[in-house]
Amino acid sequence: MSNALLDALLFAGGYNATVVSLGCAAFGLAAGSLGCFVLLRGRALVADAAAHATLPGVAAAFILAALMGWDVRSLPLLLVGGAASAGLAVLAVGALTRNGRLRDDAAMALVLSIGFGLGVVLLSVVQSLPVGGQAGLKGFILGQAAGMSSFDAQLIGGLALLSVLLVAVLFRPLAVLCFDRDFAASVGLPVRLLDLALMGLMLAVTVAGLRAVGLILVVGLMVIPAATARLATERLEVMVPLAGALGAFAAWFGAALSAALPDLPTGATIVLAASGLFMLALAFAPRRGVLAFAWRQARLSLAAAREHATPADGVECRLPPSAGMER
């Protein structure tokens, strides 16, 4: 196992395994970078609802391909179907929450449940079709990077790197939007357009990660590296590249570990690797970590104890004449 893991980590496991690892790392880079804005804008649950809503689109694209005689395993076609249904889910959340019809959490839970339930129903329809390749759709639920072809990995990596480029271009406007929407509007920024751009990027990264991480866990690789970076720094210009690097590392290491141990699901392994980094940051982060907090609390307690034990300046402490004497 150790030799296989080392080969996978050093890109010595063959051409296809190397391309898959690089594709997963590119996706982790995009997910971590964009996840900072998703986290700060409070859109994590919207991303989760959109991710679950990709399943009916993927299944519907498969059914359409089977009926039209197209290649049912065409990843671009399946991703387009997933993106279409995810986009409808985001629009549905917006429509349900507009004018106070429903609270945000209720609308997102409703859309998530309906989307995933419809997807499961369509999967049962797919299983009844007299065509091969149905088993590959299960990889979109929990991720199956090992089953990707080189073309699939290159497509995912290309989508992810394009998302990173757009995040870099829109960094300043998105930063202003996330920290103060009213100020962004007052200085003339197109707030609604920026919100739509953030949603579009979120959908693109979500769809790109379906094959590698799966729809259930794809949001985890957006949120966990961003939360880890938030523990380590308070500056957004540091947080975004740090979250991208953490996401890329977690995806690279998780994909390599899954390749070395084929019984491990790729998506879960990648998210657990990211979770391990988060636990380390939670414990050892210099300002927000548990140990740093405990050290500050101990110093405050010690300072308070010294202040109470040390007499005030100019005050002479004398025992009363009768102290220690019995009557």
pLDDT-wise least confident of 51-60, 235-244, 263-272: 263-272
Q: Pick from 156, 142, 148, 157: which is nearest to 264 by CA?
A: 142
**Residue 322 pLDDT grade (very low, low, confident, very high; cuts 50, 70, 90):** low
C-alpha to C-alpha distance for 91 and 322, rounded to whole angstroms: 83
Q: What is the pLDDT of residue 327?
A: 46
C-alpha to C-alpha distance for 220 and 271, rounded to whole angstroms: 6
CB 246 within 8 A of CB 58: no
CB 250 within 8 A of CB 9: no
Name which residue leads in pLDDT, 264 or 147: 264
Q: Pick from 119, 112, 145: which is nearest to 62 by CA?
A: 119
CA atoms in the 13 A half-sphere facing the CB of 190: 6
Tokens for 44? 């994590």
Average pLDDT value for residue range 220-247:
93
The pLDDT tens digits of the residues spanning 274-283 come to 999 999 999 9
CB 217 within 8 A of CB 47: no
For each of the domains in the chain, give its residue range(s) and CATH number, in order of start.
2-291 (1.10.3470.10)
The pLDDT tens digits of the residues spanning 103-131 come to 888 888 899 899 989 998 998 888 888 77
